[in-house]
Structure 1
Amino acid sequence: MNASRLSLLTLGLLLAACSSPRPDNALPVVPAHWQGPMQASPTIADGPWWQAFASPQLDALIEQAKVNSFDLAAAMARVRQAQASAVIAGAPLLPQVKYGLDASRQRLLHGKGYNGIDANDGDRTYSSYGTALSASYEVDFWGGKAAARDSARYSLDASRFDRQTVELTLFSGVAGSYLQSLALAEQLQIARLNLANAKDVLKVVQTRHAAGSATALELAQQRSLVAAQERQVPLLEQQLQETRITLATLLGEPVQRLPAIGERFEAIRWPDIGAGVPSDLLGRRPDIAAAEARLAAAQANVQVARAAMLPSLTLGASLGSGAQVFDQLLRSPYYSLTAGLAAPIFDNGRLGAERDRAVAQREELLATYRGSIVSAFADVEKALNGIDGVDRQREWQDEEVRQARTAFELAQSRYRAGAETLLTVLETQRTLYQAQDQQVQLRLARVQGSVALYKALGVVGR
């Protein structure tokens, strides 16, 4: 069942809800455009969005996740369960046909006779054989059976959309974890350079302190800085290992089998993503489509509950034959036709309560559907706002790195000319390393913002 048919049915439900005097039953307002700044790029299309980061290793990890992810395998199994449930729910719409073949043998062991066996015939054995082809059918006067089938089909659609949601979450999780591991590896390299720089400065300060030109306070401050840099290295190593463990879990592998990082973070690029218009989101996000399908299934369940309160008509027919000798089994054919009408009279309110429960569940899922739309809009707005904020910071961060590099180069030049001290050179080098570390963090925030926007837009990328 396609999304357009679901949308038409859900639109009918929403229109019916809007006819209620309650003001909170209106469909969430769909804005004409996004509030956050948007890049001037065409609207994205479905496809492998992770390829836009130009990372062959990321592409390989995504393919591995498709094959090995346990979450994805479980989602696919749930789809198969829903497919079987849909077949089961549709079966009562057609007659149930059965064929039977039976045989029996009786002999009186002792006594005065039993079940048609006379005591005088106690030494005789009686045999009987029978065969019959029967069909039964409950007429679906009130549409309850068809509604049950439709409910199962909508539930199947919801399971398929849930699988897409799992894929979207899995792929974005793999991308985010891998990109973070690249950034942490680069930050770790910078931290080690910073530590080496701090130790070099400490040597200079110790020499000056021994010569009496540096105070004990300056020496203690530099030792404290070295200790802080020493602490930063194992912290980043821990974070890097934790990120790799998370990535391995998403891939369904132990971390020992995770391949080593084979590329530099600076080689990663981020794409320009066109968010389109908010109305596009309604047809793209799989979680919205799943909520819509469940709402349609709930509406069908209301019809099922109402039909159960009405009379039911069952028709039956059978054709068979029987004999006491197997060779004569088909020589005595017979047929029978039956009809039965049943209606509930008293069930202590059970059927009415089931109807009320179905109606309440429909109202719950209608609210859930509306909430999923609002949450989807918020996800995109937050992603766009985050990207814009990082881009504006990066403009100044790039300038900070350029100026820090210029200061370091000038200090080196002046030091070689004898016009500057080694301590100044080392301080400008430390400032450059700190600016580069911040630049890596902002770059990570930018690529993760792109991943978040892809996820918010519902681009599954299969």
Structure 2
Amino acid sequence: MRRSLPLLLVGAALSACATTAAPERPASPVPPPAAWRTAPPNSQGAQGALTADWWTLLGDVQLNALVDKALARNADIALATARVDEARALSRAAHSALLPTVDAVAGLQGSRQLDAFGRSYESTAEQVGLRVAYEVDLWRRVRDLDAAGRASLQASAAARDSVRLAVAATVARAYVGLLSLDAQLAVARQTITAREAGLHVITRREGAGYSTKLERDQAQAELAGVRRQVPALELAIARLEASVSALTGDPPGPVARGDDLLALLKTPIPVEAPASLLARRPDIAQAQDNLIAADASLAASRAQLLPQLRLSVSADRVFTDALPDPVALWTIGAGLAQPIFNGGRLKAQVQASEARKAQAAASYRGVVLNAFAETETALRAVDALQRQESEIAAQRAAIAEAARRAKDRYRAGYASYLEQIDAERGLLAADQAVIQAREARAVAAIDLARALGGGWTPAP
């Protein structure tokens, strides 16, 4: 027994260590396109891969600080990290099945019995020992479960990284939205100041008989129309600040701002070839790992239909007052079990595993298709919004010149006040359109960085 027990333990350990190779990653179910339909913004500029701190390309120090804080304190990221810890523990539990189990046992028993002469006597027996059991993994069932556990752990880690990418992008979009609202509020207040000055001039002209009461009423209505925009913009800013605070793990409060919209995104987002997308998005890696786990679980379910071989060893020492010396006991055994009837439970488990693998395969294909579609859409948006912003800026310059001329014509008495009002309305709308175009351009760049995977690389 002394020779058999170490041999059993060494053989079991070697078997566990020799069968933990990582499974091959499945090929993409969708062949990547040879090139993007829309030319990347870096095709004539910066080259290279997107880095993990992609938000620094926007060039705003305050944004960098907000994203760093969100990545460290966001509740959704903390939840995803806890799920990774759970998956790691479950993976260790699955791996432990490759090793033998060793239990220490102890027992105490007292009895009162009759001897051959009819006399009663009492005895006490103490027993201590070890129990060693090991399942010989004939059909790789245990190794497949171990592989499924490791793949699930990798999928959970990729899911956490997807959450981190989403949080960073959400913070960046919200910050850009705050800068846009700040700019719109500044334009509204500047317009209010100009309209108040215009109303003062009209009031004076009315007193001198050069303007009518109608013109004064129109000026007051235009001033009130701009003033009502201020509370709405202030409310939108407060709501967005509360959202950013929640993302960064802070109670609602003011959010520090850095540069304005015009200063954002001086460096284009670098874009690699379409094939690189398959290895740069965490959601694709998660779908791959889920498929690997489902395939390994299916193999383990099929192996349950086959015989299982278990080895067992026990060693005990019994101390009893009925004998002068302790007694050493040991057993070595092997058991083979073949499922015969279980009401179809094992076959149903195999069918369920097959269905889960089919679901994982379909999900993998859908994730890859969505990744290419998101990136193509983001590239097109970046290109279109850059051209749109240029056109809107040109339109704004033309409207501003028309407003200046309308104002001069009214003061010279060559045009009605209605002409000046129309020109000023158009200028206000053009100013807001320029701000919104800059916001849309920055948001499109953020969406492109997220679609590209945010510079993600799989953990070694």
Which TM-score bucket, shorter chain as reference?
Answer: 0.7 to 0.9
2:234 to 232, 237, 243: 237
Displacement of 1:228 in angstroms is: 2.5
Q: Which residue of 1 aligns with 2:432?
A: 437
**What is the alpha-carbon distance in structure 2 between the residues aligned to residue 358 and residue 299 of structure 1?**
8
* Within-5 A mapping of 1:47-58: 47-58=52-63
1:168 to 153, 165, 174: 165
* Within-5 A mapping of 1:65-214: 65-106=70-111, 113=113, 120-121=119-120, 124=122, 126-205=123-202
**Do the aligned partners of 2:396 and 2:427 also contact (CA within 8 Å) in 1?**
yes
* Within-5 A mapping of 1:381-396: 381-396=376-391
Pair 1:9–1:430, CA change in 2 (3 A): closer
Could you tell me which runs of 5 or more consecutive residues in structure 2 were left unpaired when the two chains were aligned.
Answer: 1-20
Displacement of 1:232 in angstroms is: 1.4
* Within-5 A mapping of 1:171-320: 171-205=168-202, 221-256=218-253, 258-320=254-316
| Equivalent residue letter for 1:367 | A
**What is the alpha-carbon distance in structure 2 between the residues aligned to residue 189 and residue 135 of structure 1?**
77
Deviates most, 401-410 or 228-237: 401-410
Displacement of 1:60 in angstroms is: 0.9
Displacement of 1:400 in angstroms is: 2.5
Displacement of 1:310 in angstroms is: 1.2
**What is the alpha-carbon distance in structure 1 between the residues aligned to residue 333 and residue 117 of structure 2?**
34
Pair 1:340–1:407, CA change in 2 (3 A): same
The yes-or-no answer on 1:452 pairing with 2:417 is no
Deviates most, 132-141 or 196-205: 196-205
**Do the aligned partners of 1:144 and 1:304 also contact (CA within 8 Å) in 2?**
yes
**Do the aligned partners of 1:270 and 1:450 also contact (CA within 8 Å) in 2?**
no
Pairs aligned (count): 433
**What is the alpha-carbon distance in structure 2 between the residues aligned to residue 274 and residue 437 of structure 1?**
29
Q: Which residue of 2 aligns with 1:332?
A: 327
Deviates most, 302-311 or 331-340: 331-340
SS at match of 2:194: helix
**What is the alpha-carbon distance in structure 1 between the residues aligned to residue 397 and residue 385 of structure 2?**
18
Displacement of 1:72 in angstroms is: 0.8
Q: Which residue of 1 aligns with 2:349?
A: 354
**What is the alpha-carbon distance in structure 2 between the residues aligned to residue 391 and residue 220 of structure 1?**
41
Displacement of 1:311 in angstroms is: 1.3
SS at match of 2:280: coil
**What is the alpha-carbon distance in structure 1 between the residues aligned to residue 178 and residue 440 of structure 2?**
13
Displacement of 1:128 in angstroms is: 1.4
Pair 1:199–1:318, CA change in 2 (3 A): same
**Do the aligned partners of 1:194 and 1:430 also contact (CA within 8 Å) in 2?**
no
Displacement of 1:105 in angstroms is: 3.8
**What is the alpha-carbon distance in structure 1 between the residues aligned to residue 300 and residue 369 of structure 2?**
30
Q: Which residue of 2 aligns with 1:23?
A: none
* Within-5 A mapping of 1:11-50: 11=27, 27-39=29-41, 40=43, 41-50=46-55
**Do the aligned partners of 1:198 and 1:430 also contact (CA within 8 Å) in 2?**
no
Give CA deviations for 1:211-244 in whole Å, capped at 9, x if unaligned.
7766676555544433321221111111111111
SS at match of 1:388: helix
Q: Which residue of 2 aligns with 1:19?
A: none
Could you tell me which runs of 5 or more consecutive residues in structure 1 were left unpaired when the two chains were aligned.
Answer: 15-26
Give CA deviations for 1:38-88 in whole Å, capped at 9, x if unaligned.
221414233311111111111111121122111111111111101100011
1:368 to 356, 363, 370: 363
| Equivalent residue letter for 1:36 | T
**Do the aligned partners of 2:281 and 2:456 also contact (CA within 8 Å) in 1?**
no
